[in-house]
Structure 1
């Protein structure tokens, strides 16, 4: 069993515990780390399908009846020891410091935006937030739905002043099926949205390790509803991308996509439009929205460790924990660079836990190849206690 050092040291705040996915002691291990904190919310990352349902049933027998249990399958996990695979990470949020409620946003492929808006606003009104505490939203979404962009825009419209972060559920590197858990049901083609309130201080942490090059390309043919580029610069998209990146077409792998991202400029910032695969017709499948006429810039990977450490050191106080949604393409780039152990050490140092995603959500946007986190910190000395 691996448990968050904060739990061992008796510190307050969320607690992460991790166990092997196929281990016989999976449930006892997770319960051993969760029961002592009387959680209001438990997030489960790493299990798929029926195992998610079995975990939910087993945990409910031993946790408070009003505890919200949600989770999803992943493309990798981040636990108390850093990066891992073939494991389950459970993150418990103590009821003494947190209050949570969850709802399912169904039928993502049909985009029932009006229903989503009505449901989200009703949920917010019924929750009755305490203005003396911090309120935020968490979003888990089917990473194969292709609708994250519309979903986060809906959330931003329904709850415009609410900070929301989240991640797209993964399926390793198979990209075949994902599973989400909510209300004791395992589902696909849905999103799970949580309203969470805490008396801890919170701060968003985002980091992307890329920068633009002078090389640009225009999307001259695409299937936007499938997030697929057919042509770049009026050439087969995969072949033109390989040429621009200086690669042989037979070397177009997820690791190379991570090293040479396609960037979309929005305002003053560039955001990755990550490539997931080459299609049979030499097109490119993406993990984010794309349209004909879009100008894309070829990116290059920058330092993935120093900048990340700087972003976390800039927090006003050391975090009790950082809830993390970390793109699988970032992890692949770290593996290729031989920096996985170094990054895992940083995750241990800053008490980071979460999962590797097929995309990340923050600031009303769906992005890729980015670390998106929420740091929980003890209130600043002198702050009045929340009632």
Structure 2
């Protein structure tokens, strides 16, 4: 399904982009790349729809953009200048005038060493020569089915210190079968990409959801943490107890029900969503974030999602200006809720008007925390005084 919301209210000037709806990977890359200013590129981010063969896309990108490093991932949807899309190859080109980068592939993710991963991140940062008066941040793309994002982002945060980090877990539509990150001209599973970016632009970080905690709690009383599977909640079969609490039968549980009835975990004064992926083995629940025995979860209650989206994206720069663009990582479960409520066109209009470019994820990363059902992003402003993220 291709979505075509109202025309965007202006396009970014500090980056350029290309989109293609072609079903052939080679043609899609040719069409999208033809819209880029190839002479000015520092690096390109590629967000690949699930209908395109990821290996053919990466090979075509190498042939078509031989002088530009391309990073990216497979997605559960794209955010283009027109808003939400499902079948669009999106390329975002970051020009040398405003950006520099260094990258590293982290592989494998399973059985990864926390100490070695932290050292890898620290070494990359130390070797990335600094430019006077430019600012730095990190972008993380991870295999969204690795079940290692929590450990990964904690290790990277330890290695990067106070460097702000933002990211998303790769997706593959709603199949939840395989996901890939793109680095070095190839697609990699069981891997993550760490991209360090230096810029002379002002930027500020965004992180928001639209949920508040209720008084209904779920205690994980039996789990398989290594597989993110909960078999028992409140002493009862996990799926049955969750279904009872949200007013459904187990047979009715689906990604849409999970999206509208999330469970939250408290981290100091902040609540983060621990999203449920699916029912497994008849009465267990598979999660998209870390779980463990004894973990206390709280059912969340939604606020108005469009009002929250509009309000949170209405960030202003140091001189009161709107962002030139927002690089956004938006959980696919948020989009499912928006589709279920039949407000996809309105949401796309909001994303378009705030010049959001990015993708729908299987999970989000920000400042050493992996979360779900959240929008994480970076708003960029013209050069000037720095906004701390």
Normalised-by-shorter TM-score class? over 0.9
Shift of 1:181: 1.1
Q: Does 1:166 align with 2:200?
A: no
Count, aligned residues:
378
- Structure 2 match to 1:96: 97
Per-residue Cα deviation, 1:186-228 (whole angstroms, up to 9, x for no partner): 1100000100111111111122011111111111000011111
Q: Structure 1, unaligned stretches of length 5 or more?
A: none
TM-score, reference length from structure 2 = 0.92
Whole-Å Cα distance in 2 between the matches of residues 8 and 220 of structure 1?
52
Shift of 1:20: 1.4
Shift of 1:313: 1.6
Shift of 1:171: 1.2
Shift in alpha-carbon separation, 1:282–1:246, aligned structure 2, 3 A? same
CA contact (8 A) 1:38 1:63 kept: no
CA contact (8 A) 2:50 2:76 kept: no
Shift of 1:62: 4.6
Equivalent in 19, 30, 34 of residue 32 of structure 2: 30
Whole-Å Cα distance in 1 between the matches of residues 350 and 51 of structure 2?
31
Whole-Å Cα distance in 2 between the matches of residues 243 and 50 of structure 1?
39
Q: Does 1:379 align with 2:376?
A: no
Shift of 1:52: 3.4
Whole-Å Cα distance in 1 between the matches of residues 97 and 146 of structure 2?
36
- Structure 1 match to 2:178: 177
DSSP 3-state at the match of 1:256: helix
Whole-Å Cα distance in 2 between the matches of residues 190 and 49 of structure 1?
21
Q: Structure 2, unaligned stretches of length 5 or more?
A: none
Whole-Å Cα distance in 1 between the matches of residues 218 and 167 of structure 2?
30
Shift of 1:21: 4.8
Per-residue Cα deviation, 1:267-315 (whole angstroms, up to 9, x for no partner): 1111111000001140100000011111110112211111221122232
Shift in alpha-carbon separation, 1:8–1:327, aligned structure 2, 3 A? closer
Which ranges of 4 or more aligned residues in structure 1 deviate by more than 3 Å? 5-9, 47-64
Per-residue Cα deviation, 1:134-190 (whole angstroms, up to 9, x for no partner): 111000000000010000000110011111000000011111111111011211000
DSSP 3-state at the match of 1:305: helix
- Structure 2 match to 1:341: 345
- Structure 1 match to 2:126: 125
TM-score, reference length from structure 1 = 0.92
- Structure 2 match to 1:209: 210
- Structure 1 match to 2:61: 59
Instruction: Please report the RMSD computed on the Cα atoms of aligned residues, expressed in angstroms.
Output: 2.2
Per-residue Cα deviation, 1:116-136 (whole angstroms, up to 9, x for no partner): 122211111110222411111
